[in-house]
Amino acid sequence: MTDIEFDMLDELYFVQSYTELKKKLNFSDDIFKINLKNLIEKGWLKCFYPNREEVFEFNIVDFDKNFATLHYLASKEGLLQHNRL
């Protein structure tokens, strides 16, 4: 786990919008997008549509277009990995 991934998971114990996350962690959109994708692919992060109830089924094309409008939450596995460090 990278330092950036650790910092992101640290903020995602509860559902956060991209905007909320960006305010707390002052990374560029490119850094966010790359690391969010990595966390999702590892199974350490879930993402939701803005209504916070409907799970966003990850596919790269839709994610690249919509990542800034989604909400994020660390998965159980992500929390376990985060707490091991």
Q: Delimit the domains of the chain by residue range.
A: 3-84
Instruction: Provide the CATH topology of domain 3-84.
Output: Arc Repressor Mutant, subunit A (1.10.10)
Give me the pLDDT at residue 52, please: 61
User: Using one digit for the tens of pLDDT, what is the confidence trace for 21-73?
Assistant: 999 999 999 999 999 999 999 999 999 888 766 677 777 778 888 899 999 99
CB atoms under 10 Å from CB of 79, counted, come to 15
Q: What is the pTM of this model?
A: 0.87
41/58 Cα distance (integer angstroms): 9
The pLDDT of residue 75 is above 90 = yes
63/67 Cα distance (integer angstroms): 5
